Amino acid sequence: MNTDNGVINMDFKRRVILKAGGALGVLATAGTWPLQALAKFARPEDAFKTEALDATFAALGGKPEKSDQIDLETPDIAENGAVVPVSVTSKLPGTEQIWLLVEKNPNPLAGGFMIPDNTEAFVQTRVKVAQTCDIYAVVKADGKLYMTANETKVTLGGCGG
């Protein structure tokens, strides 16, 4: 950046304005598809406030049915409940959303993921697990809810333990 007696050179200002204008142009031409994708994903605020597993299922849309088309990978034993790795793959056609629930956490719903059309239904993250319990993967596919669960033993609690 060139300065003459403490004043920023006009070429620098022009470049900044051109870069900002270019970025706005890209956003304007992106269209509405990001908004359409977000509109499809309704964040269930009530589900994040529930304190029991059945209430969380109800807030997500009802009791899911068990499915062998969902692969849930969790450790058998988690040494630290604050960072438990979890991965979910849904083989259900039309998968729209994947939710992770931790049965004995103060609030069971740990997270939710939107799955765009024509993509592999796979998510991988880490969740907090308060104590030994089941971790659930709930999948919304073609408007219906499905689930699977794995028990994970925790040696050091993650939610204040």
Residues 6+ apart with CB under 8 A from 90: 69, 70, 71, 98, 115, 121, 122, 137, 139, 141
Domain of 86: which CATH number?
Answer: 2.60.40.2470
On whether residue 23 sits in a domain, the answer given is yes
| Spacing of C-alpha 129 from chain mean position | 16
- Residue 119 and residue 145 in one domain: yes
Residue 102 placed within a domain = yes
**Could you tell me if 147 and 72 lie in one domain?**
yes
Domain-located, residue 15? yes
Q: Quick check: helix, strand or coil at residue 16?
A: helix
Domain shared by 18 and 54, yes or no:
no
Q: Please report the pLDDT score of residue 45 as a whole number.
A: 84
DSSP 3-state assignment of 67? Answer: coil
Tens digits of pLDDT across the chain (161 residues): 555 555 555 555 666 666 666 665 555 555 555 555 554 556 778 888 899 999 999 999 999 999 999 999 999 999 899 999 999 999 999 999 999 999 999 999 999 999 998 899 999 999 999 999 999 999 999 999 999 999 999 987 666 54
65 & 125 share domain: yes
Give the pairing of strands 144-154 and 65-66. parallel
Domain annotation covers residue 159: no
Instruction: Tell me the pTM.
Output: 0.72
Q: Centre a 10 Å sphere on the Cβ of residue 153 and count the other Cβ atoms it contains.
A: 14
56 and 13 assigned to the same domain = no
Count: domains in the chain: 2
**What's the CA gap between 137 and 7, in Å, rounded?**
58
Full residue range of the structural domain in which residue 16 is found: 3-30
**Polymer length in residues for the chain:** 161
Residue 106 maps to a domain: yes
Q: Is 48 exposed, middle or buried (0-12, 13-18, 19+ CB in 10 A)?
A: middle
Instruction: Please answer whether residues 139 and 92 qualify as being in contact, where contact means their C-beta atoms are separated by less than 8 angstroms.
Output: yes
For residue 49, the number of C-alpha atoms closer than 13 Å in the C-beta half-sphere is: 5
Give the pLDDT of residue 9. Answer: 56
Are residues 124 and 99 both part of a single domain? yes
Residues 6+ apart with CB under 8 A from 149: 72, 103, 134, 135, 136, 137
Query: What type of residue sits at position 5?
Result: N
